[in-house]
A and B are shown apart, each in its own frame.
Chain A
Amino acid sequence: MIQVPAQRLLLVPLALWMAHVAASFTIVEAHCRHGVADGQFAGISAIRLLLLSVTATALLALGGNAFAATRAWLATSDGEGDATGARTQLLLICAVASSIALLYLIWAVTFATEARLCR
């Protein structure tokens, strides 16, 4: 049986979502308020690239989490090593929570590429 700490898998989407929001906000504020990367060499494209990098990193981490949760869920759903089924239930919730956070990050790609960053 694959031993994955299900409670941790559940916290990862929340932690990544909060970290992504905080990082994106900081990058946008640094650009719009303090003029970071507003020159010709490194301009708005550089900021968008940075936002995309942060989002891609979060996507990778969250994708890994979703994969781990789903794999563990599939492994336990046949009852192996989970006599009561409680772990299977928790892993299903982990997988779904990760998927919801993935949806947010996919939207964040649109934000990073299309949205007007500064007022």
Chain B
Amino acid sequence: MALSEEQARIGQLQAAWARASTPLGRLASVSHRSVGARYMLTSAAFFALAGLAALVMRVQLAAPEQRVVGAETYDQLFTMHGVTMMFLFAVPAMQGFAIYLVPLMLGTRELAFPRLNAFGYWLYLLGGGALWISLIASYAPDAGWFDYPPLASARFSPAANIDVYAAAVPLVQVSAIVAAVVLAVTILTRRAPGMSLNRMPLFVWAVLVMAGMIVLAMPPLILDGALLILDRNASTDFFNSGAGGDPLLWQHLFWFFGHPEVYLMLLPGLGTVAMITSTFARHPTSAYPLVATSYVLIGAISFGVWAHHMFTTGESIVGLTIFSAATMTVVIPSGIHVFSMLSTLRHGRMRISVPLLYALAFVFIFIIGGLTGIQLASVPADWQVHDSYFVVAHFHYTLLGGVVMPLLAGTYYWFPKFTGRMLDDRIGYASFALVFAGTNLAFFPMHLAGLEGMPRRVYTYPAGLGWDHYQQLATIGAFLLGAGLLVYLANLVIAYRTGPRASANPWAAGTLEWLPDSPPPDYAFAGSPRVQSAYPLWDEHARPTVPDQMYRLTAPDRKESLETSSLEALPERRIPEPGATLIPLLAGLATAIAFLGTIFDPLWFLVGAAMLAALFVNYAWREPTSVASETASTPVPRSLRYGMGGLLVATGSLFTALFSAYGYLVERDAVWPVAGLPSRPIGLGIAASVAFLAAAGPLELARRSLGASARAALLLGVSVALMLAGLALLAVDAARLDYNWASNATASLEWALTGIWALSALALIVVLATAALRLIQRVDVDRISMLIATVWYGRFVLAVWVPVFAVVYLGGRVL
């Protein structure tokens, strides 16, 4: 092909994919690189704020009987430090890296669902912003990052501090779920041709497992927050032991999320250090298949260990044994990773560099955290040091080692790709020395303070208990760590402004993100790279660096991505990509109103949901049709199927958590229904069920009548009408009851089950009604695909009604 033709093609690609540089254009950008950069910068800002809070706490604790801050401020500081590090820094930072880098690593130009991805970021910013604004207003959460009732109940914490937590944290979790679905679908459907599952970079494997874990683990926490805010502001009794509830229910739901949270933060860190090790050893990762499998294993095991956080809550001995044993089994996959890393270094030609030093620091610090983790998995040992500084030391070693060190390594490693500039290695070595020394000096003495009996979460302590020196050392270490991070930041700023230019592949790495220039052009790749190994840039005979090694399967004059099969990455279809839009920002604002409004009144949720529904209908109506689906071999794009699957799994996880809460309280309470709740009349429930069952019929018929748009629209209308009739019957039934949600825990659960299901049904009604209107307006392949996906959601919602009906209407009779 003539050079001029290639240049013309590049010109077309640049014009099609160019990102706006105006302030409004930047705000509206949905490009993965814009959104990824937003996530990284925002999470770094939250990290800095949480770090400042930590330094204030360290000054307070540097000597006995200090009065730098009072007890109430200290409570808010340690809570915000934990909440920020866990919810606003670690996961979003990892997701930011993934959002920016995964498409480049996969050899594709964009993530799946870019607008959804941008929407997720705004939720994160608004949720995190609300939490920090609350600190300025002295209303920050103050019951610890895990927010246990009864301390978090309205009785013991009547001010709005806990409401802020219960509203804002779930909002951030929704953001994480959105990003997880986007990343998982991208990884499973957008890989460059030839990049089969076993040729994905290990970072991508780690992100895939992380995404799956987020979709399963975070809905229970969202539910937990919703139940807490209802307990506080609507007088329900989920966690009220005086009315059949149980504070430990909170802990089960929280830790079912909380422990996977630790591993899902850790996994991308493992992937990062694996890639850095491989690059600087100039050797493929040893035992790649086992390492990828170990990530899956870590994810699976992490769901079976949550109760090791609850060893002191009076569980049965058998329960303690299994959770103790399960916790220890995590050592096996973690060990596979560490030994693979050491083997890679042993068999390669190691080049010492700043990113590799951070990766080695990961091994050192993470192993210490892991070893104390095994000690804590032993029940008698845990009973001795529970809630002491030993635990604080353990999890800081785990998270500094498993999250912060890999993030510092990754930032240094990928900075040239992000900015096109190289960092200064001398400053890099200096900052590493400070960070490494500071980390160990800050957190190792805490082990000893804990073994000497110092409890965590105390704002001061008397002299003479043997804790003073440990706390002084920890404070010195914390400032050393802070200084190291400041030097690291200075290096970033200096390099960004004046650093030497980076080549496309300055580290001579083997993965695809190093193929385009640094920073990559807006279109990223001139074509779809051909991939024949896990390290395509190291392939001697098939290196995809020249145009002839690129597939040209997408049009250059419009934004399109290539969809490929999940296992083998065979090309399947072209997917049109959207342009910049402010809709994600507006939808984010509406969602934030729905969640944050509940701080003042739970009914605000309905206001926000109505605004979101209006935005959705408006957007769906105006959505232009696409032109690029003619190569489709399957009726519904793979990304749409998987995206809908992700939504269903997340919703299913939420309902499973709710049913489990019901089962848990049934098992805990001697009498069920609690306090002799009158038997619920079943007539209207049966009538509503008949209406819902009948709604499923036209829904299925509509799916089969897509060729005839008027008929399909009519059938959808009938289905919507039947569902509305069913919901009206439920409303009448609720109005006739002799009790309400505040009567006791049984009543609260009945109302929660029907209420949350009714919200899902209302969402379905909005979507179905919109789909019917769109069918009348115009029919094309994309709209039919959307409608089929909507029908899947409809099947799910209607199927969930069956267990909801059984529990709400029959539970009281049978149990």
> B-contacting residues of A (Cβ < 8 Å)?
6, 25, 29, 33, 84-90, 92-93, 96-97, 100, 103-104, 107, 110-111, 114-116
Nearest neighbor of B198 in chain A, beta-carbon distance: A89
Do B318 and A88 touch (CB < 8 A)?
A: no
Known: A25-B663, A29-B666, A104-B304. A84 touches B199 (CB 8 A): yes
The 30 listed contacts between A and B (C-beta, < 8 Å) are A29-B666, A29-B815, A33-B666, A84-B568, A85-B198, A86-B197, A86-B198, A86-B567, A86-B568, A87-B567, A88-B289, A89-B197, A89-B198, A89-B293, A93-B292, A93-B296, A96-B293, A96-B296, A96-B297, A97-B296, A97-B297, A100-B297, A100-B300, A107-B322, A110-B318, A110-B321, A111-B318, A114-B318, A115-B316, A116-B316
Known A-B contacts: A96-B293, A96-B296, A103-B329. Give 14 more (CB < 8 A): A33-B666, A33-B672, A84-B196, A84-B198, A85-B196, A89-B197, A92-B290, A93-B293, A97-B297, A97-B300, A100-B300, A100-B301, A104-B304, A115-B316
Q: Tell whether B72 is near chain A: CB-to-CB under 8 Å.
A: no
B248 contacts chain A at the CB level, 8 A cutoff:
no
Q: Which residue of B lies closest to A18 (CB)?
A: B656
A92, B663: Cβ atoms under 8 Å?
A: no
B196: chain A residues within 8 A (beta carbon): 84-86
Contact residues in B for A86 (Cβ distance below 8 Å): 196-199, 567-568
CB distance from B413 to the nearest CB of A (A): 25
Residue of A nearest to B531 (CB): A84
Q: Does B667 contact A (CB under 8 A)?
A: yes
Is B815's CB under 8 angstroms from A107's CB? no
Minimum CB distance partner of A84 in chain B: B196
| C-alpha spacing A88/B290, complex, angstroms | 11
Query: Nearest Cβ distance between residue B189 and chain A, in whole angstroms?
Result: 14
Residues of A within 8 A of B385 (CB): none
A86 to B564, CA, bound (A): 14
Is B325 an interface residue when CB atoms closer than 8 A count as contact?
yes
Which residues between 281 and 308 of chain B lie within 8 Å of chain A, taking CB atoms?
289-290, 292-293, 296-297, 300-301, 304
A78 to B289, CA, bound (A): 14
B194: interface (CB < 8 Å) = yes
Give the top 3 A-B pairs by smallest Cβ distance, nearest first. Answer: A86-B196, A84-B196, A89-B198
Once the chains bind, are B667 and A29 in contact (CB under 8 Å)? yes
Give the complex CA separation of A85 and B568 in angstroms: 9
Say which residue of B293, B301, B318, B329 sits within 8 Å of A92 (CB atoms). Answer: B293
The answer for the CA separation of A103 and B328 in the assembled complex, in Å, is 13
List of A residues within 8 angstroms of B322 by Cβ = 107, 111
**B-side interface mostly:** helix
Q: Give min CB distance, B491 to chain A, whole Å.
A: 38
Mark out the residues of chain B between 562 and 597 whose CB falls within 8 Å of any chain A CB in the assembled complex.
567-568
Once bound together, how far apart are the Cα atoms of A6 and B567, in whole Å?
10
Q: Which residues of A contact B300 (CB under 8 A)?
A: 97, 100
| Partner-A contacts on B (CB < 8 A) | 194, 196-199, 289-290, 292-293, 296-297, 300-301, 304, 316, 318, 321-322, 325, 329, 567-568, 663, 666-667, 672, 815
B297→A92 contact, CB < 8 A: no
Measured between C-beta atoms, what is the minimum distance from A42 to chain B in Å? 21
Nearest-Cβ distance from residue B317 to partner chain A, whole angstroms: 8
Q: Please give, as numbers and ranges, the residues of chain A lying within 8 Å of B194 by CB-CB distance.
A: 84
Check A92 against B289 for contact (C-beta < 8 Å). yes
Contacts of A115 in B (CB 8 A): 316, 318
Residue of A nearest to B194 (CB): A84
Name the residue in A6, A89, A104 with the highest tally of chain B Cβ atoms < 10 Å from its Cβ: A89
Shortest Cβ gap from B574 to chain A (Å): 23
- Which residues of chain A come closer than 8 Å to B297, judged between CB atoms? 96-97, 100
- Shortest CB-to-CB span from B664 to chain A, Å, is 10
Q: By the criterion CB–CB under 8 Å, are B318 and A89 in contact?
A: no
Which residue of chain B has the shortest Cβ distance to A100 in the bound complex?
B300
Contacts of B290 in A (CB 8 A): 92
User: Is A33's CB under 8 angstroms from B198's CB?
Assistant: no
User: Which residues on the A side are within 8 Å of B329 (C-beta)?
Assistant: 103
Residue among A33, A88, A111 with most chain B CB within 10 A = A33
- Closest Cβ–Cβ distance, residue A76 to chain B (whole Å): 11
Q: How far is the CA of A28 from the CA of B194 in the complex (A)?
A: 51
B802 shortest CB reach to chain A, Å: 15
Q: How far is the CB of A18 from chain B (nearest CB, A)?
A: 9
CA distance A87 to B568 in the complex (A): 8
Q: Quick one: closest B residue to A14, CB to CB?
A: B300
CB–CB A89/B292 < 8 A: yes
How far, in whole Å, are A56 and B672 apart by their CA atoms in the complex?
32
CB distance from B292 to the nearest CB of A (A): 7
Residues of B within 8 A of A90 (CB): 197, 567
Minimum Cβ distance to chain B for residue A110 (Å): 7
* B515 shortest CB reach to chain A, Å: 20
> How far is the CB of A4 from the nearest CB of chain B, in Å?
13
Q: How far is the CB of B323 from chain A (nearest CB, A)?
A: 10
Rounded to whole Å, the gap between the CB of B199 and the closest CB of chain A is 7
Chain B residues lying within 8 Å of A103, measured Cβ to Cβ, are 329
A106 to chain B, nearest CB (A): 11
Q: How far is the CA of A18 from the CA of B568 in the complex (A)?
A: 30
Name the B residues within 8 Å of A100 (CB-CB): 297, 300-301
Chain B residues within 8 Å of A116, by CB: 316
Chain B nearest CB: distance from A95 CB in Å? 9
Most buried by B among A84, A93, A104: A84
Q: How far is the CA of A110 from the CA of B322 in the complex (A)?
A: 10
CB-CB < 8 A to A93: which residues of B? 292-293, 296
Bound CA span A115–B329, Å: 22
In the assembled complex, which residues on chain B have CB atoms less than 8 Å from the CB atom of A96?
Answer: 293, 296-297
Q: Which residue of B lies closest to A101 (CB)?
A: B300
Question: Which A residues lie within 8 Å of B293 (CB)?
Answer: 89, 92-93, 96
CA distance A17 to B378 in the complex (A): 25
On chain A, the residues within 8 Å of B316 by CB distance are 115-116
In the bound complex, residues from chain A placing their C-beta under 8 Å from that of B321 are: 110
Give chain A residues whose Cβ lies under 8 Å from the Cβ of B672. 33
Q: Please, how many angstroms separate the alpha-carbon atoms of A3 and B289 in the complex?
A: 21
Contacts of A104 in B (CB 8 A): 304
CA distance A111 to B300 in the complex (A): 21
CA of A96 to CA of B318 in the docked complex: distance in angstroms? 25
B92 to A: closest C-beta gap in Å: 28
A117 to B705, CA, bound (A): 53
Closest to A97 in B: B300
**Residues of B with C-beta under 8 A to A6:** 567
Q: Which residue of A lies closest to B534 (CB)?
A: A85
Q: CB within 8 A of A88: which of B198, B296, B301?
A: B198
In the complex, A84 Cα to B191 Cα: how many Å?
A: 14
| Chain B residue, CB-CB nearest to A104 | B304
Give complex CA distance A33, B321 in Å: 25
Tell me the bound Cα distance from A114 to B318 in angstroms.
Answer: 8
Instruction: List residues of chain B with CB within 8 A of the CB of A33.
Output: 666, 672, 815
Residue contact B301 to A89, C-beta cutoff 8 Å: no
Which A residue sits closest to B296, measured CB to CB? Answer: A93
Q: How far, in whole Å, are A77 and B292 apart by their CA atoms in the complex?
A: 16
Residues of A within 8 A of B325 (CB): 107
Q: Measured between C-beta atoms, what is the minimum distance from A74 to chain B in Å?
A: 13
In-complex Cβ contact of A89 among B289, B304, B666 (8 A): B289
In the complex, chain B residues whose CB is within 8 Å of the CB of A89: 197-198, 289, 292-293
Shortest C-beta distance, A108 to chain B (Å), equals: 9
In whole angstroms, how far apart are the Cα atoms of A84 and B289 in the complex? 13
Cα distance A114–B322 in the bound complex, in angstroms: 13
How near does chain A come to B812, taking the closest CB pair, in angstroms? 13
CB distance from A66 to the nearest CB of B (A): 14
Taking CB atoms, residues of chain B closer than 8 Å to A107 are 322, 325
| A85 partner residues in chain B, CB cutoff 8 A | 196, 198-199
A25 to B815 CA separation, bound complex (whole angstroms): 13
B residues in contact with A88, CB < 8 Å: 198, 289
Nearest-CB residue, chain B, relative to A103: B329
List, in ascending order, chain A residues with CB within 8 A of B567's CB: 6, 86-87, 90
